[in-house]
Amino acid sequence: MSEQKRITPRTLKGFRDYPPEAMIPRERLISTARRVYRSYGFSPIDTPALEYLDILSGKGGEETDKQLYKFQDHGGRWVGLRFDLTVPLARFAAEHVNELGIPLKRYHIATVWRGENTQRGRYREFMQCDFDTIGTRSVAADIETTLVIHDLLRAIGFSDFTIRLNNRMVLSGLLERLGLSERATAVLRALDKLGKIGAKAVAEEMTSTAGASAEQAAQVLRLAELPSGNEEALRAVEPLVAGNETGQLGLHRLKEVLDGATAGGVVDGRLRLDLSIARGLDYYTGTIFETFLNALPAIGSVCSGGRYDNLAALFTSQELPGIGASLGLDRLLAAMEELGMIEKVSTPAPVFIPYFDKSRLHDYLRLASAVRRAGVGVEVFCDPKRLGDQLKYADRRGFRVALIAGGNEFQAGVCQVKNLQTGEKQDVPLEPDAASIVAAIKKLLEIDLTA
């Protein structure tokens, strides 16, 4: 019998594996997002990765349709992998809102797929951490979305960031005044590329693809030349939408969101009007957000979203306006790694117990159980190898504390508590409940004993 040909292990372009050192900070970030969302009353949901193709296609725009992973299943049905979590939410809300009631406040943390060109911090398979409010047009929901984004970035550990704010009604009002309403989608898609390709290339795309005149394109790009102060920007844009009801309503909404966010604790400088942001997806209708790290603006927006008041109308006659945002998990992790904010560890347990006295396995297990009962993670090494080899293993994995005890220590009733980062060590009484050892560990880990 011939030997079976081995398959070369490899991943598809735009997809990747996540070893422990990548998954640990990833899970921490997800946990932080979950905690912040829950603090505002958002509840978790989940939806299938696969949807009927007609649910997904045509909802995000022509470019998104090109990136959609679609195929026929074994039953001959055309299906697609979700490209975001908002379109499935619109379908979910239309299907379940009568039993759940409105407003429906949900968060959804799950994987999505887009067959787009890969770039730094962006892959074809990635996770989104969404939160949305469905069933209200109230400006309170717009303000709350701003506050959640702000609190989320703060909880993750950032202080120097900017939430850029705009309203699609301002853009729509300007386009109406310029006679570009019928070409709005193409114009806004071009405008959305301003930060990537620059004003000259955007103007060329507006004229060549959207059919705008050079003067019309210049008028739209004036939105990128407004003063940097929020009050000054509001005053400067008033003439651009004067006499247009849609534009003036959008401008009024922007003022309300700015005032409400300030009342809710967003400090000056973290929220800035940027009337040039358009958000590329077609379904946005009102307030839109993009969040940038001031230390690393080139990585792009790490938390984006906006208001979409008509999306659910594709699935139900019931009016279900919505607003929400999504944390760009992979992009933010790439930024945090570049900024040195991610600790290199490949173990979620901070404490390591070497097993080097073969006759004391049960004692090691009892000690580990006592420490775990106190809420601290512990790993006991599996094989009774040399202590030095086990400490090398602990160092590679990123453990912070080692509890070292052999026959002599157990007989003397002590355990050596060693700080693996500094090398400092101390002998601590070995008690049945390990109370003194737990106190020493928590002091080293800077865990509040009263928490």
Statement: 20-338 belongs to CATH 3.40.190.290 = no
Predicted confidence band at 281 (pLDDT cuts at 50, 70, 90)? low
pLDDT (0 to 100) of residue 280: 61
pLDDT (0 to 100) of residue 225: 76
Share of the chain above pLDDT 70, in %: 97
Instruction: Taking residues 154-169, report their average pLDDT.
Output: 95
pLDDT (0 to 100) of residue 7: 93
Looking at the DSSP assignment, which residues form a beta bridge with residue 162? 292
CB-based contact 19:64 (threshold 8 Å): no
For residues 393 and 384, give the distance between their C-alpha atoms in angstroms, rounded to a whole number.
13
pLDDT of 2 strictly over 70 = no
pLDDT (0 to 100) of residue 257: 97
pLDDT of 451 strictly over 60 = no
pLDDT of 449 strictly over 60 = no
Give the orientation angle of helix 245-263 with respect to helix 230-241, to 10 degrees. 170
pLDDT (0 to 100) of residue 190: 83
CB-based contact 348:372 (threshold 8 Å): no
In the chain, CATH 3.40.50.800 covers 351-445
Half-sphere exposure (Cβ direction) of 82: Cα atoms closer than 13 Å = 23
pLDDT (0 to 100) of residue 6: 92
Other CB atoms closer than 10 Å to residue 130's CB: what's the count? Answer: 24
162-189 tens-digit pLDDT: 999 999 898 888 888 878 877 777 887 8
392-421 tens-digit pLDDT: 999 999 999 999 999 999 999 999 999 999
Instruction: Taking residues 121-145, report their average pLDDT.
Output: 93
pLDDT (0 to 100) of residue 450: 41
Beta-carbon contacts of 27 under 8 Å, excluding residues fewer than 6 positions away, are: 348
Give the orientation angle of helix 168-177 with respect to helix 214-221, to 10 degrees. 150
Predicted confidence band at 447 (pLDDT cuts at 50, 70, 90)? low
Predicted confidence band at 446 (pLDDT cuts at 50, 70, 90)? confident
For residues 93 and 355, give the distance between their C-alpha atoms in angstroms, rounded to a whole number.
54
**If we measure between CA atoms, which residue out of 96, 78, 131 comes closest to residue 315?**
96
pLDDT of 378 strictly over 60 = yes
44-76 tens-digit pLDDT: 999 999 999 999 998 777 778 899 999 999 989
**If we measure between CA atoms, which residue out of 60, 42, 51, 34 comes closest to residue 129?**
34
pLDDT (0 to 100) of residue 121: 58
Q: Beta strands 104-113 and 125-134: pairing type?
A: antiparallel
Instruction: Taking residues 243-247, report their average pLDDT.
Output: 90
Predicted confidence band at 306 (pLDDT cuts at 50, 70, 90)? very high
pLDDT (0 to 100) of residue 172: 85
pLDDT (0 to 100) of residue 182: 75
Share of the chain above pLDDT 90, in %: 67
Half-sphere exposure (Cβ direction) of 86: Cα atoms closer than 13 Å = 25
pLDDT of 123 strictly over 80 = yes
CATH superfamily, domain 351-445, is Anticodon-binding domain (3.40.50.800)
pLDDT (0 to 100) of residue 146: 98
343-375 tens-digit pLDDT: 888 999 999 999 999 999 999 999 999 999 999
pLDDT (0 to 100) of residue 396: 94
248-278 tens-digit pLDDT: 999 999 999 999 999 999 988 899 998 878 7
The pair of structure tokens assigned to 402 is: 């080692």
pLDDT (0 to 100) of residue 406: 93
